[in-house]
Amino acid sequence: MSPEHGARRSRVIMVEPALTQLAKLTASETHRLDRAIVAISVNPELGTEVPGTLLRDYTDEVDGVRVIYFVTALKTITIVAYVEA
């Protein structure tokens, strides 16, 4: 990888329940959530595995954000199922 380029990020897609939750957040909550989603897109393995599922659960205690998501097999797309801020 050349020095001009950083790590490749996965594309983030939110499903309907996450979009509905997102619409209810304040601007400050959305900003905190954005930081968490960027972190997940750079490193999709940040969250912990939810036993018995393909889901991962990422909680940022500092910003008070929680995201439940899953990553496609090639790790190019991260699908967000739930957000909480």
SS3 content of the chain, % helix, strand, coil (to 5): 30, 30, 40
CA separation, residue 51 to residues 54, 56, 57, 62, 67 (Å): 8, 9, 10, 25, 16
Residue 40 contacts residue 58 (beta carbons within 8 Å): yes
pLDDT tens, position by position, for the chain (85 residues)?
Answer: 445 666 678 999 999 999 999 999 999 999 999 999 999 999 999 999 999 999 999 999 998 999 999 999 888 889 998 898 8
Separation between Cα atoms, residue 82 and residue 4, nearest integer Å: 34
31, amino acid identity: H
